Structure 1
Amino acid sequence: MSTYILGMDVGTSSVKASLWDVEKERVVSQFTDNYPISFDIYGRIRQDPEAIYQVVLQLLENIIDDLEAKTENNRRKFITVVLDTALHTLLLLDEQMNPMSDVIPWMDARADSVALEILKSEQNAEIHERTGCPVDSVYPLYKIIWFARNNADLLKQSGKISSIKDYLLYKFTGLFVLDFSTASGSGCLDIRKRCWAEDLLWDLARVDLSKFPTLISPYEVLEPSGEIKRFFEGRNVYVNFAVGVSDAAASSIGTTCFNPNTLTISMGTSAAIRKISPEPLKKANVLDKGIWCYIVDEKSYIIGIAMRSGGCVMDWWVKNFLKSDDYNEIVRVLRDMTYYDSSPIRTTRPIFIPTIYGERVPRWIPNRNGALLGLSGATSIDEATQSVIEGIGFNFRRIFEAVETYFGRGEAASYNVVATGGMCQIQNWLQFLSNLFNRSMIIRESRFDTSLGLIMFYLKEKAPAIFELMSAKKDVISPKKSLSGLLENLYLKWLNEIESMEERLCKIHDIT
């Protein structure tokens, strides 16, 4: 029998998969596919759970077809699928486990008013400390409360309160279960006790635990359902499913190999800077800084800050203002930006505030919009594009410094910095960030770090060997010191503008 491990990373907008041959210790194949997201004018964002399931199932079938085509022998093949999904999704199901709602992802803003109310309440600190999640409408907890207040009948009629992760696990195995790694990103879990925060859920939304999935270890392996067995019937393949972790945990493992002295900068649709830690969130000095803490497994956590203004903002600019579907103009402008000049026209260009889809840092504030400040008749599209790139990069630096401060600036200065995610594929982007941070960055030439991280998670004792193989394709980008002074001045000017806007918003919403 030939044994394989399939890391399947189900992200916000795409699924990526890596197949590992256990006997030959190598990656056999890597596949990816996409699924849509719909937006409306009310800040509500939806995804079709069945469409996501069908894309994931089809990708699994394609991987098996490819494997059978590549292997000439008739040996039976045994595949363990290790699954992750994007954090912070919500899905309501009926008693027969059929969807009653669309998947509501982290970007959905319908619960802003709920989160604002709780942010201003005495429960703010308790929720942050117990759940590891700062008050923020991205978390399913606040969307559940929103349903309780705005569509109570639907919430009451729902048999189960789910996420895309436990829905997929149910479709594959027939069991309604969820790993506590993914659950810890819901705002509904007590991260120290590793159980649902029953009292909070009842007090805030009047929902009881009978609607929630059973929590299990991310290492647990489940047998396939009869439907899945029938789907692959007639093939020389047996498939089972390891519960797995969140995409954030898998990304951190894939880029650090459990090394607690490495910071991961993850740059996809959204973005995050995080570190694996043996300890949960420190209770002191975390409020108002957007620091969160999620579980990896029984012995470790990830601590960091996430931001909404990642690749989604770059996509927004490219599609709506550059009127393009590719990044050629972004790449061209970035190439020039790695060799800044200091002429007045360059240093007085507009300032871009990248909060197009709101923002979570340094803490969540509702009704945040983006801005392009300082436009004049002399502003060219290239200068505006450069301002957009800078604004996104400056936001990255801001959260990078916040994470460094949490762990101690002196200690954090010794950490390695590893960059991963789709934005890393944009030529010269990482050189710009390295110049801006004044830090060297390790970059691997792969879009599949997270799916490989799932394999490393499952084969933990062999993780160093897999990591070494992955690291063979890494590169190191170092800062150009001559640009640090100019970038520092630009960053401080940007920081002053965004902090002034945040101060005005806090006064409007009466947030202290």
Structure 2
Amino acid sequence: MLYIGVDLGTSAVKLLLMDEKGAIKKIVSKEYPLFFPHPGWSEQKPEDWFEQTMAGLKELVAECDKSQVAGISFGGQMHGLVILDKEDQVIRPAILWNDGRTGEETDYLNQVIGKDKLSEYTANIAFAGFTAPKLLWVKNKEPENFAKIEKIMLPKDYLAYKLSGVHCTDVSDASGMLLLDVKNRCWSEEMCEICGIRKEQLAQIFESYEVVGTLLPEIAQELGLPGNVKVIAGAGDNAAAAVGTGTVGDGMCNISLGTSGTIFISSRSFCVDSNNALHAFAHADGKYHLMGCMLSAASCNKWWMDDIIGTGDYATEQAAITKLGENHVFFLPYLMGERSPHNNPNARGTFIGMTMDTTRADMTQAVLEGVAFALRDSFEVARSLGIHIERTKICGGGAKSPLWKKIMANVLGIKVDMIESEEGPGYGGAILAAVGCGEFASVEEAADKLVKVVGTVEPDPELTVKYEERYQQFRQIYPACKELFDKII
């Protein structure tokens, strides 16, 4: 049988066709625009997602035996606010995960409602990128649109609805809305009241591997697929990537170096850190996970290479880097503000430490190291909870860089495992589709059988010591700049 994974990203939708043995048969990618109507705002049109997904699906299955396609599932960008009216039409462009407009609403939730209550209700505190602050922003700034809301959805769930006709979501993606009682895997009555919404406006909750329905007849006909193709709920991109890298079960770790960056730690039990510096979410395997998320990771390198120094030759630029662990230039990678662990939308990207002999290679190196240091900030929170991590998987576009993987291994001081497929969310979505169709008994069984480690980057003891000193310097920079960031926005 064949299974489709749909990775709805920020810049493109990537569609993946996988057989029952885990072999990737074809990958198709379709781009769509990203809009920045005001500084710090980030929006997309859900209609663009669906249009390009349909185009991608047609191309994906054009040459395969369509009768063998059994299921389709998703990994999708999290937190985005999609609102539909009573005719199920999109009311306004989706407000995305990296949108920073909700400062007032986030402050209201954290300071007036209170972090303790939010943590009690949802296991998390408010971050500017979460969905609930976006809802409050629409309520406060666009009351005419708020009054039209019939359904509140997340990005990938809009695709699932368009394909199946079912208003659905899954526990992992819903965890990032600040509307879900994560521990009990149900909507929070208290948060609905705080946001001025009814539970009926929210989608039906499924586990990530559960079937929500089948393709609508008109969709199946347009795609040339059987009408009984199952639509499986899927997961938020990070949970889907974790499935795709085999980060399921207890105490497993995955680092994603995509547009954003995450450190993802799976757990069989529910756990919250005392300062809510890490997100405590439900996992796609039916259990839980902790996650630290930085808003700009591989996008920092893309910004530096494409927009600042103007070259697409990433390999040549990285080949010029020769001073690992000895760089005196530091970079704070907060180009879109920051989430974990600082929770500060006003934070900004910053170079510090340049001198007259600073080279272009030093600054390129600082960008790569800055992302690694920022991920270690979240890693340290996990360590403070007594979580012992000796190795991690890695995925995302940044994971294709041997140099960046070496930096990551030595900054964190752990082994970094490379897997056969680097298509994290899309591959995870396809695995969830296979589980939903009964190909495997559980997500853990599927991951054990399908995900293969093909190499490991070992930390170098001498380099790890050097990076320890550099990290201790790095972690002092943000506190020194924080007050200034708040003044220069």
Say if 2:6 and 2:430, in contact at 8 Å, map to a contact too.
no
1:281-307 per-residue CA deviation (whole Å, 9 max, x = no partner) reads 33xx422x5211111258401212111
Secondary structure at 2:95's aligned position in 1?
Answer: coil
| Counterpart mapping for 1:266-277 below 5 A | 266-277=256-267
**Aligned equivalent of 2:410:** 435
- Paired residues for 1:349-360 under 5 Å: 349-360=328-339
Greater relative CO, 1 or 2 (CA 8 Å, sep 6+): 2
1:280 is aligned to 270
- Counterpart of 1:209? 199
> Structure 1, residues 367-411: CA drift from partner, whole Å, max 9, x if none?
1112112334443322222222222221122222222222x1xx5
Bigger radius of gyration among the two: 1
Report the 3-state secondary structure (helix = DSSP H, G, I; strand = E; otherwise coil) of the residue aligned with 2:162. helix
Question: How many residue pairs are counted as aligned between the two chains?
Answer: 481
The 10-residue stretch of structure 1 (106-115 or 153-162) with the greater mean CA deviation from structure 2: 153-162
What is the aligned partner in structure 2 of residue 475 from structure 1? 455
| 1:328-477 alignment runs, 5 A limit | 328-334=315-321, 336-338=322-324, 346=327, 349-406=328-385, 408=386, 411-413=387-389, 415-457=390-432, 458=435, 459-461=439-441, 464=445, 467-471=448-452, 474-477=454-457
Q: Report the CA distance shift for 1:263/1:232 in structure 2 as closer, same or farther (over 3 A).
A: closer
**Structure 1 79/39 Cα, relative in aligned 2: closer, same or farther at 3 Å?**
same
The normalised TM-score by structure 2 is 0.90
Question: Which blocks of at least 5 consecutive residues in structure 2 are unaligned?
Answer: none
2:466 to 472, 478, 486: 486
Change (3 A) 1:389 1:196: same
Per-residue CA distance 1:304-323 (angstroms, 9 max, x = gap): 21111311111111122211
1:236 & 1:368 partners in 2: Cα distance?
50
Contact 1:257 1:467 in 2 (8 A): no
> How far 1:242 moved relative to its partner?
1.3
Q: Does 1:100 align with 2:91?
A: yes
Per-residue CA deviation, residues 331-389 of structure 1 (Å, 9 max, x unaligned), is 2244x244x5x5xxx5xx33222111101122312311121123344433222222222
1:9 partner amino acid: D
Equivalent position amino acid for 2:408 in 1 = L
Check 1:236–1:363 CA distance in 2 against 1; reply closer, same or farther (3 A cut): closer
Equivalent residue, structure 2, for 1:294: 281
The DSSP-based 3-state class of the residue aligned with 2:473 is helix
Range with greater deviation from structure 2 (474-483 or 372-381): 372-381
Alpha-carbon distance in 2 for matches of 1:475, 1:264: 15
Q: Is the Cα contact below 8 Å between 2:16 and 2:60 reproduced in 1?
A: no
Maintained 8 Å contact 2:214/2:227: no
Residues in 2 aligned to 1:479 and 1:207: alpha-carbon distance in whole angstroms: 50
Distance 2:138 2:86 in 1: 18
- The residue number in structure 2 matching 1:314 is 301
Structure 2 counterpart of 1:9: 7
More displaced 10-residue stretch of structure 1: 170-179 or 374-383: 374-383
What pairs up with 1:96-245 in 2 under 5 angstroms?
Answer: 96-203=87-194, 205-218=195-208, 219-233=210-224, 239-245=229-235
Pairing 1:249–2:230 present: no
Assess, with a 3 A threshold, how the Cα gap between structure 1 residues 177 and 464 changes in structure 2: closer, same or farther: closer
Tell me, yes or no, if the aligned pair for 1:331 and 1:427 is still in contact at 8 Å. Answer: no
More displaced 10-residue stretch of structure 1: 451-460 or 139-148 = 451-460
When residues 337 and 424 of structure 1 are mapped into structure 2, their CA distance, relative to the original with a 3 A threshold, is: farther
Paired position in structure 2 for 1:45: 42
Alpha-carbon shift at residue 80 of structure 1 (Å):
0.7
Mapped to 2, the partners of 1:320 and 1:249 lie a distance apart of 31
Deviation string for 1:83-124 (max 9, x for gaps)?
221211101212111111112111001101211233223521
Instruction: Give the secondary structure class of the aligned counterpart of 1:92.
Output: strand
Give CA-to-partner distance per residue, 1:462-489, whole Å, 9 cap, x none.
76466455315x2100112222332222
Q: Deviations over 1:42-66 (max 9, x none)?
A: 3111112111111111221112112
Tell me how large the CA RMSD over aligned residues is: 2.5
Q: 1:469 to 1:212 in 2, by over 3 A?
A: closer
Q: Matched residues in 1 for 2:423 and 2:74: separation? A: 14
Q: Offset of 1:444 from its aligned partner?
A: 1.8
CA distance in 1, matches of 2:155, 2:218: 19
Percent of pairs with identical residues: 23
| SS, match of residue 412 in structure 1 | coil
CA contact (8 A) 2:277 2:378 kept: no
Q: Which amino acid aligns with 2:131?
A: P
Q: How far off is 1:25 after superposition?
A: 6.1
- Report the AA paired with residue 401 of structure 1: E
Q: TM-score, normalised by structure 1?
A: 0.87
> Structure 1 stretches of 5 or more lacking a match?
69-74
| SS of residue paired to 2:235 | coil
Amino acid paired to 1:266? S
Distance 1:251 1:298 in 2: 12
Distance 1:382 1:483 in 2: 18
Contact kept in structure 2, 1:333 and 1:385, CA below 8 Å: no
* Partner secondary structure for residue 17 of structure 2: strand
Q: 1:29 aligns with which of 20, 26, 30?
A: 26
Instruction: Determine the C-alpha separation between the residues in 1 that align with 2:320 and 2:129.
Output: 32
Structure-to-structure mapping, 1:80-99, within 5 angstroms: 80-99=71-90
